[in-house]
Chains A and B, each alone.
Chain A
């Protein structure tokens, strides 16, 4: 009966298995020592992530490997994105340690859910099948819903979690419905199988495009693109800042992987259709994100709208792979690696910007209004300079990493013939510069409202400084970062 079954090779999935086993260890350590030694869960989580990073590096293989009956893929793109994910999660843990301790939120559950969300992202990044992609997404989303609601006595958190949960469940339903349609038309759940069925052109186009609409809607929800962006401002605003930082960083990498795997690896045969859908959503996101951010007085809300516009720019790269109905390997790689570069750059900047909010917050006080940044230069010239770097980079002012990311994405769009779209994107980026520069103006030219000394610990100070220097420093070597992204993409399926 089991004649044709081959025992799966567990080696490529070693990081996932390790992280899962470590999560059980954290669970038990927290059960027995959680009340007395709170630091143990945090320490173990950091060690697990470092261990997973080490295993990912050791088991990295230049050739793509499929395992678990073709459901799991380990390629260079997966390794690169996983390493970036561990890195982002570790930074989040260091940034938020003091913040969580001050608010009594440094419970074992926080660290457990962070591990499971990370595991979900890894499963998404390595998914080669609709089923595993969906399960990874659910694992990540369910953990994130829990994290948003972690401060259960705060009505704001509960409301944000409720909104996130209801809208997220709806998006998952849309995605699943789309997947079932594509399965009905092609008869395969495997991304490779779907691509092959599309290539042979035997499937019903109507059903495929019908399914595609729902899949693109599901992806757009996770990325936060415009018609599906409603959850972003409320969730970013309502969640504890540490959780906002988590949602605003690593999951973007996983969502990028989801978009790339589903649309490019699986549904490339329908690229002319999904590129049009992405085009509309990208332009709307850039426009709405940049305009709505101007009206915000809360910096978390402002960064939420900025996230919407940034994801719009990222999608510009994703939709420029196929030109005039033909795939040219060079143009396509260029376009997709510019989108990858943008995602990585955005994650780094987003961590820094939320890091500043955590840096200025202290026990019983949330520095979440733009007012709180007034006169930061007088309180601490160094941190004001770091925040200036983040804001300049996000606005896309030259010689920071954000500028080269925007430049690469716009170049890809122009090469694909979307000149008007690129012009619109640049115009809105100029409008967007207003609200980033407003933060700089508040920091340097206004008198401080809140003159309490900055009480953040040494770890947060050092990390924030390094983050700022990385945003500035990596801007000096744009080609090297781009090379890594391109290599990762070329060595993938």
Chain B
């Protein structure tokens, strides 16, 4: 067995086990950490396919940034695990049947015959071949249009996220420095004109 094939089986075995642990782990923090492990191993698989740039981007963006942020979110939220997991065991048999059926169907159709390892040998490229440069070349020429559309999708995501979550709170203590500088004396102090107090005659209310 070639060393590369050994690496492939190592990475894919760890990926599958880690992915299974993501959905079976009792502690959400552990689940996130297993997801990090799965991503890391997928990055290794991509490296084997000679997709160096994508592999490194996966490590930096997903492992380094997205999952760390996700970890914070999971740690801050007080998730009631028992409530989330309620019904897990009762739904498990049905889930296994459906999932097993899907997986076996896919295995029948997609087994080694069409998409096997033998069909996808990465070409042997020269040592000075730059994956990043090639990717950038097609991204900004042939794929410029989908690239732009994808950026519009991200813009929509920002707009919707702000729309759904931004609430102007009444007890907000935010400072507006421009307002503070432009303040005038009459904004701070109000002079109220009042009718002078008139001393009533000592006789009081007695009119008699």
Contacts and interface: CB of A to CB of B under 8 A. Distances in A.
A175 B205 CA distance: 90
A297 interface: no
A136 interface: yes
12 contacts: A8-B144, A8-B145, A69-B141, A69-B143, A72-B145, A135-B149, A149-B160, A150-B163, A184-B115, A204-B114, A206-B114, A210-B110
Given A69-B141, A113-B156, 14 more contacts: A68-B145, A107-B163, A109-B160, A113-B159, A129-B146, A132-B145, A135-B149, A138-B153, A139-B152, A143-B156, A149-B160, A152-B163, A185-B114, A204-B114
Nearest to B148: A20
Interface string A459-479: 000000000000000000000
Given A69-B142, A146-B164, A204-B114, A139 B149 contact: yes
Interface of B: 109-110, 114-115, 137, 141-146, 149-150, 152-153, 155-157, 159-160, 163-164
Contacts of B141: 2, 5, 69
Main secondary structure of the interface of A (DSSP, over half): helix
Given A113-B156, A184-B115, A207-B109, A146 B163 contact: yes
A142 B156 contact: yes
A8 B145 CA distance: 9
A210 B109 contact: yes
B144 A68 contact: yes
Given A123-B149, A135-B150, A139-B156, A206 B115 contact: no
A207 B156 contact: no
Nearest to A138: B153
Contacts, number: 79
A139 B152 CA distance: 8
Contact of B149 (A132, A143, A210): A132
Contacts of B144: 8, 68
Interface in A90-124: 107, 109, 112-113, 116, 119, 123
Nearest to B161: A146
Given A72-B145, A135-B150, A146-B164, A112 B114 contact: no
Nearest to B106: A210
A119 B153 CA distance: 10
Main secondary structure of the interface of B (DSSP, over half): helix
A69 B143 CA distance: 8
A222 B157 CA distance: 20
Contacts of A146: 156, 159-160, 163-164
A152 B164 CA distance: 7
B156 A136 contact: no
Contacts of B114: 184-185, 204, 206-207
A420 interface: no
Contacts of A119: 152
Contacts of B145: 8, 13, 68-69, 71-72, 132
A131 interface: yes
A292 B145 CA distance: 43
Contacts of A204: 114
Contacts of A145: 160
